[in-house]
Amino acid sequence: MINFIFSEEYINHDTGNHPESIKRIQVVNDLIKEKYSNHNLIEPTIADKKLISLVHDIDYVNYIFDSIPASGFNYFDPDTIASPNSLKSYLLAVGGSVDAVKKIIEDNNNNVYFCAHRPPGHHAEKNKAMGFGVFNNVAISAEYAYRSGKFKKILIVDFDVHHGNGTQHIFENHKNIFYVSSHQYPFYPGTGSENERGTGNIINCPLTAGCDSKTFRSLFENKIINKINNNFDLIYFSAGFDAHKLDPLASINLENEDFYWVTKIVLEKFANNVPIISVLEGGYDMKGLFHGLNSHLKALIEYSNE
């Protein structure tokens, strides 16, 4: 059983003619209704400034709140857009990501949660909007989880095609929160080399443009899976599907089945009866997003049924 955290409100985060569009969340919603209607659907709660400032500077948080336009669009950077109804989506994406942690603690369970949010957040820095997102959903949730005292070691696995610079920078000095990422490199946002290791808690697996399924699997297994021998109390996925071969924003050629494989290999090694929180990041071809996410969810369901 998967607990889906999702809100229809995400349709109101209007970005106009932009890759991170309303259509993305409609595709995700269609997938849930078509194939996962027998699973739990949970409405996220709205995050407050105190929660967001667990990882973001409060001056930056105030700036975002104060910069939502009354009409039209406001650009936080050339790629990151706010419209009049965007703030509620930002706050629900953060709140829903933290709700998963709260429910795990309250129910004392090892359940699986998929946070079907937009916009994505792994590029958001402590004091800077980047890459379509303004708040780092995964980082805020992981920091909240760690501060709860219930989770001593946390793993974040990011298979989005773009390196999660924001998540890495937020945790690069945190010895108990590990961040690992496979991503096209060199590529946007420019970070993610193997030399970036933090306190030993950062592992990057760069993929060259044109990387195919066989190469991806070999690199991910050798450079990530085989390098980590820690036990974790909580596992996150920053689940982006823009490494799919159909995606227009990158040049990695993964197949639908690769998203099942990468989820499965992480769970098999590290998820020894621990809770899982997966948070939607990228994916900008609608067919690739639908089938890539479906493959990821199949692996999560198998784990939840064990």
pLDDT in tens, 94-134: 999 999 999 999 998 889 999 999 999 999 999 999 999 99
Joined tokens for residue 203: 């592992």
CA–CA distance from 85 to each of 68, 93, 174, 265 (Å)? 8, 13, 34, 39
Number of domains in the chain: 1
Residue type, 123: H
| pLDDT given at position 110 | 85
Q: What is the mean pLDDT of residues 18-44?
A: 97
The one-character DSSP state at 244 is B
Using the predicted structure, report yes or no on whether residue 18 has a pLDDT greater than 80. Answer: yes
Q: Which domain range does residue 71 map to? A: 2-294+300-304
Average pLDDT rounded to a whole number, residues 277-306: 97
Give the whole-angstrom CA distance, residue 33 versus residue 132: 26
3-state class (DSSP) for residue 151: coil
**Is residue 123 annotated as a catalytic residue, yes or no?**
yes
pLDDT at 1 over 80: yes
Summarize the confidence of residues 32-48 as an average pLDDT: 97
Active-site choice (123, 162, 163, 244): 123
Cα-based angle 207, 212, 213 (whole degrees, multiple of 5): 105
Predicted pLDDT of residue 72: 97
Distances (CA, A) of 155 to 21, 141, 231: 29, 12, 9
CATH number of residue 254's parent domain: 3.40.800.20
User: Cβ distance 237 to 244 under 8 Å?
Assistant: no
Q: How confident is the model at residue 306 (pLDDT cuts 50, 70, 90)?
A: confident
pTM score, whole prediction:
0.98
Residue 108 confidence (pLDDT): 85
